[in-house]
Structure 1
Amino acid sequence: MRIIHTSDWHLGQYFYGKSRAAEHQAFMAWLLEQITLHQVDALIVAGDIFDTGTPPSYARALYNQFIVQIQHTGCKLVILGGNHDSVSTLSESRELLACLHTTVIPGAFDRVSEHVMPLHNRQGEVGAILCGLPFLRPRDIVLSESGESSSDKQHKPGEAISQLYQGCFAHATELNTSLPKPVPIVATGHLTTVGASTSESVRDIYIGSLDAFNANLFPAADYIALGHIHRAQVVAKSEHIRYSGSPIALSFDELTSQNEAQKSVFLVEFVDTKLAQVTPLMVPMFQAMQVLKGDLDSIAQQLSTFEDKHATEQTTWLSIEVSQQDYLSDLQSRIADMSQEKAVEVLQLKRAKSQRQQHIKQLDNETLSELSVNDVFARRLAQEQFESEAQQAQLSRIKQRFSQVVSEVEAEMLNQDSAASHILHESINAKREQEGQAS
C-alpha cells in the first residue's frame, strides 16, 4: 500500500498581492506525475485545501480540475478540512465527489464510525484503514458544564481530542479484525502538536484553551498524517507521526538558508501491516523567491547578481531586510532605484529585528516614572516603519489622535481634581461649623 501525505495547499492565497494560481497549477501537474510514477494508491490532503472559507472562483476551479484529473491515475483521494477551510464549502460537493472516488471530511461528524473507512489499493483490496479526523472546532468536541473549575476547562479539550482519536482507533481495530488479513491503520489530524516548528504564515489555533496537543495522546496507529504546520517535520521523534508541510512557501521565513523552499510531500509505504519507509518527494520551486539581508551596500551588491529584466521572463520575489538605517527616510526609494532594472519584485522591505531588539535592550534600565506619556508613545512609534507617503499620512493621523486623547484625559483628570478639591473644601467648612456650634 502506497500513500502520499500532503497538506496546506491554501488554494486562493494572495502573497503580498500576488496570486499563487500558476504555482498551484504547476504543483498539481507535478503531483499527478508522482502519483503515476510511484503507483500511489491513495492521496491524503490533511487540511487547508483552501486559504479562506470563501475561496475565489479560480481556486474552486483548480480544486475541481484536480479531482477530475486524478481519476485517470487510479488513485483514491481523501480531503480533510482545516482551520482555513469552511465546513459548509467543503460539504456542498461532498456527495457528488464521492462518485469520483474522493472522500471529503469537512468537519467532525456525529458518529465516530463516520470517520473510519477502508482505503483500497489499485487491486481493489483493502490496503489500509483510515481514521480521518479534520480540524476540530471547540463546539464539535467540548460542551460547557456548570461547576467546572478553570483547571477542568483547560484540560477538557485535550482529553476530548484524545478520546475521539481513541474511539476512532478502537473502531478501526474492530474493523481490522473482520478483514481476511490485517492491514495498517492510518490516522490524520489538523492541529498544533507540542514542540512543532511553525512559520510566519501559520495561524495560531486554539481548541478552547488548548494551543498544542500532546503527541503522546495519539493512538497507536501505524502512520499519523498531520497538517497545519507548514514546515515538514517529524513529531516527538516518532518517524510515523509527521507534518508534510505546505507544498509551496507561504511566507518568506519558510525559505531555507540556501534560499530554497525545500518543500516536499511524503510517500508512505507499507509492507503487510507495518510501515516500511517514508520518502520525501521534493517539490520543485515554481516561483523563485529569495531573502536578501545586509546594509545598503551589501543589498546593492546582491541585487547586481540578478539578471536584467529584459534578459529573462522569470521574476524573483524578494524580501529585503536592511540592517543599516542611515537613509531610513528614503530607504524605499533607494531600494526601488537599485532593483528597477533587475528581474525582481520587492514584495517585502523591513529593517533588521536585531536593531529593534538592541534599542529595546538599551532601555531596559529605564522606568515609566522617568518617562513622560509622549516619551513612551514616541519610543513605541520608533519600532514601526512609516516610509511610504500613505504610511507617513497614517503616522500623522496617529499622532494627531494621540494628542487628542491625551488632551481629553488630562482635561478629565483636571475636572476630577477640581471636583475633589471642592468636596474637600466643603467638608472642612462643614466640620468647622460643627465645631463652632459645639463650642
Structure 2
Amino acid sequence: MSLRLLHTSDWHLGQHFMGKTRQAEHQAFCAWLLEQVRQHAVDVLLIAGDLFDTGSPPSYAREQYYRLVVQLHEAGCSLVVLGGNHDSPAMLGESRSLLAQLGAQVVPGVAREPDDQVLLLNNRDGQPGAVLCAVPFIRPRDVLTSQAGQSAQDKQQNLQQAIAGHYRALYERALVYRTELGLELPIIASGHLTTVGASASESVREIYVGSLEAFPTNAFPPADYIALGHIHRPQKVAGFEHIRYSGSPIALSFDEARQQKEVLLLQFEAAALHTVTSLPVPVFQPLASLRGSLKELAAGIAKLAAQGTPERPVWLELQVNSDDYLSDLQGRINALCEGLPVEVLRIRRERGSNVASLTGEARETLDELGVEDVFNRRLQQEALDEEDIRRLQQLYRQVLEELPEGR
C-alpha cells in the first residue's frame, strides 16, 4: 500500500493584518496548492488546525474553504480538517456531514466517541493507505474535570497526563482497527499544540497558559508520523524526522517575513514513512521589517522597493532607534516612501511606547480584533516589565477558562 499526504496547518483564512485583508494571498496559495496536488498526485490533504483566524470568519473566507473542498474533490484528493484554537468547533462542525459527500473528513474538536477520531485514509484509487489518529486542539474541559484548590503545577501535570492519555487511547484503537482490516498500514497522529523546544513567533497565541506550557515529545504515541499545527515556523521537533510542524503557508506577522514557508509532502510505503519532501510556498505578498535611523531606513526602503509593484506594494514595519525625538516622524517617513511601491503599516519608536502608524485606510477597528488582542493592546499602554505582562496574561486566560462555555 502507498499513500501521498500533504501536511499543512495554520492557514488563518479571514485574517486581518493591521487593517489589511489576506484574501488575495490565500486565494493565490490555494491555487498554488491545487497545482501541487495535481502535479504530485496527492491522495490526502491534512490541515492540522487553525483553518480560520477567528471562530466567526468572514463570508469570503468560508467561500474560499468550500471552493477548495470542491476543487480537491475534482482533483481526486481527499481532505482532512482538524480544529485549532482559533477555530470554532460549532462552526467547523456545522457542514461536516455535507462536506463528507465530497471526500472531506472534519474533526472540529474532541469527539464524544473516540472512534470518531480514528479515520481511515484512502489513496486516490480507493485503497486503504493509512490510519489517522485525528487529534484537534484539545481544550482542558475536553479531557479534564475542574477541581477546586488545585495549584497551577497540579493543573499543568493533570492536563499533560490527560492529553497523553487521549493520544494513547486513540493509538490503541488505531492498532485494533488496523488489525481488524487485516492490513499493514502506517499510523499517523496529529496535534495542535506547543511541544517542548518548539520555536514560535509573535503571531502565535499562547495556549494552555497556566495549565500546560508545552507537551513533551516522549508523551506522543509511537506513530509513524505526527503532523502538528499551531507553531507557524516549519520545523522538526527534537530533531525527529517524523514529528513536524508544517508551519503557516503565509507570513502572519512581521517576524515571520524572512521564513521560507512550506508544506510537507509525505510518501508512505509498506506501512512506513518513506520520504518527507518540503515544497516551498511562493511569497504572494512581500512583508519586511526594518530597524535603524532615518538614514539607514531610507537605504533599506529603497532596496526593498525592488520587491514590490504598484499593484502589490511591500508591507513595511519600521522601527526608529535613534531619531525618536522627532515630532514629525510620520511625515519624514512618508517622504522616504513617496513614489515607491511600499506601504508602511506600522512604525515603532525604540524608546517610548509603540506608535501604530497606518497609511491610507489601514486602520485597526474593534471588529478586527479578538478579545485577547484588545486586552494585550491595553497592557502595552502600561509601564510594565515582561514578567508582569506575562503574569497578567496568564491570569486573564485562567479567568476565561473558568467561565462557562458561551459566556
1:266 is paired with a residue of what secondary structure?
A: strand
List per-residue Cα deviations over 1:50-93 (Å, max 9, x = no partner): 00000001111111111111111111100000000001100110
* Contact 1:288–1:316 (Cα < 8 Å) also in 2: yes
* Contact 1:308–1:341 (Cα < 8 Å) also in 2: no
Larger C-alpha radius of gyration, 1 or 2?
A: 1
Whole-Å separation in 2 of the counterparts to 1:185 and 1:310? 44
Whichever residue aligns with residue 384 of structure 1, its letter is: S
Identity %: 53
The structure with more helix, counted as a fraction of residues: 1
2:191 is paired with a residue of what secondary structure?
A: strand
Tell me what 1:429 maps to: none
Q: Does 1:236 align with 2:224?
A: no
Deviation for aligned residue 1:175: 1.0
Equivalent runs, 1:368-383 vs 2, <5 Å: 383=352
Pick from 149, 153, 156 the counterpart of residue 154 of structure 1.
Answer: 156
Deviation for aligned residue 1:326: 5.3
Whole-Å separation in 1 of the counterparts to 2:320 and 2:190? 41
Whole-Å separation in 2 of the counterparts to 1:314 and 1:264? 21
Whichever residue aligns with residue 203 of structure 1, its letter is: R
* Contact 1:329–1:387 (Cα < 8 Å) also in 2: no
Equivalent runs, 1:2-401 vs 2, <5 Å: 2-145=4-147, 151-206=153-208, 209-256=211-258, 261-305=259-303, 312-325=310-323, 327-352=325-350, 383-385=352-354
* Contact 2:347–2:355 (Cα < 8 Å) also in 1: no
| RMSD (CA atoms) | 2.3
List per-residue Cα deviations over 1:75-125 (Å, max 9, x = no partner): 110000000000110011011111110000000111211100110011211
Whole-Å separation in 1 of the counterparts to 2:133 and 2:308? 53
1:345 is paired with a residue of what secondary structure?
A: strand
Where structure 1 has 5 or more consecutive residues not aligned to the other structure, the ranges are: 357-382, 391-397, 403-439
Where structure 2 has 5 or more consecutive residues not aligned to the other structure, the ranges are: 364-377, 383-407
From the superposition, tell whether residues 323 and 72 of structure 1 become closer, same or farther in structure 2 (CA, over 3 Å): same
* Contact 1:138–1:207 (Cα < 8 Å) also in 2: no
Whichever residue aligns with residue 321 of structure 2, its letter is: S
* Contact 1:137–1:207 (Cα < 8 Å) also in 2: no
From the superposition, tell whether residues 156 and 208 of structure 1 become closer, same or farther in structure 2 (CA, over 3 Å): farther
Whole-Å separation in 1 of the counterparts to 2:308 and 2:170? 58
* Contact 2:346–2:356 (Cα < 8 Å) also in 1: no
Whichever residue aligns with residue 175 of structure 2, its letter is: T
Whichever residue aligns with residue 328 of structure 1, its letter is: L
Deviation for aligned residue 1:323: 2.1
TM-score computed with the length of structure 2 as normaliser: 0.84
From the superposition, tell whether residues 149 and 299 of structure 1 become closer, same or farther in structure 2 (CA, over 3 Å): closer
Whichever residue aligns with residue 135 of structure 2, its letter is: L
Higher relative contact order (CA 8 A, sep 6+): 2
* Contact 2:7–2:46 (Cα < 8 Å) also in 1: yes
Whichever residue aligns with residue 345 of structure 1, its letter is: E
List per-residue Cα deviations over 1:203-248 (Å, max 9, x = no partner): 0111761121111100000000000000001011111000000000
1:265 is paired with a residue of what secondary structure?
A: strand
List per-residue Cα deviations over 1:355-384 (Å, max 9, x = no partner): x5xxxxxxxxxxxxxxxxxxxxxxxxxx31
2:328 is paired with a residue of what secondary structure?
A: helix
From the superposition, tell whether residues 173 and 310 of structure 1 become closer, same or farther in structure 2 (CA, over 3 Å): closer
Q: 329-338 vs 197-206, which deviates more?
A: 329-338
